[in-house]
Amino acid sequence: MFIETDFNEAFEQIDDRCKELLEQALTNENVSTLSYSDVSYELVDDFYASQPNHDSVYVVMEGAVAHDQESATLFHYDIGDIFGLDQINNPSPYRLYSAGPFALRRYNRAELLNALTSNTPVTRIWCEYLLEECKRRTCIISLVEQGVDKASLGFVHYQVGDVIIEQDTEADSVYSIVEGQADVFVNDTKVGEVLENEIFGAMALLTNSLRTAKVVASSTCMILVVPKEQFETLMKTHPHICLNLMKSMASQIVSLNEQVTSNE
pLDDT of 13 = 85
In this structure, which long-range contacts are made by residues 255-258, counting pairs with CB atoms below 8 Å and at least 24 apart in sequence? 255/192, 256/191, 256/192
What's the confidence (pLDDT) of residue 174?
85
Q: Which domains are assigned to the chain?
A: 9-145 (2.60.120.10), 154-263 (2.60.120.10)
H or E segment at 176?
A: strand 173-179
Composition of the chain by helix, strand, coil, percent to 5: 40, 30, 35
**Is the whole-model pTM more than 0.85?**
no
Phi, psi (rounded to 5 degrees) for 76: -130, 130
Cβ density class 80-107: b for 16+ within 10 Å, e for less: bbbbbeebeeeeeeebbbbbbebebebb
Strands (E), 33-126: 37-41, 56-62, 65-69, 72-77, 82-83, 95-97, 102-108
What is the per-residue pLDDT for 187? 92
β-partners of residue 225 are 154, 175
Q: Determine the pLDDT at residue 264.
A: 54
Backbone φ and ψ of 88, nearest 5°: -125, 110
Sign of the CA dihedral with 201 first, then 203, 204, and 205 last: positive
Query: Using an 8 Å Cβ cutoff, are 193 and 163 in contact?
Result: no
Q: What's the one-letter identity of residue 163?
A: V
pLDDT recorded at residue 150? 40
User: Around 260, how many Cα atoms within 13 Å sit in the side-chain half-sphere?
Assistant: 7
Q: Rounded CA gap, 36 and 99, in Å?
A: 25
**Whole-number pLDDT of residue 149:** 44
Mean pLDDT by 10 residues, the chain (264 residues): 67 89 94 94 86 83 89 87 78 80 94 91 92 84 55 72 94 85 92 84 82 93 81 61 57 58 57
Confirm if 94 and 69 have CB atoms less than 8 A apart.
Answer: yes
CA atoms of 66 and 41, how far apart (whole Å): 14
Phi/psi for 208 (5° steps) reads: 55, 45
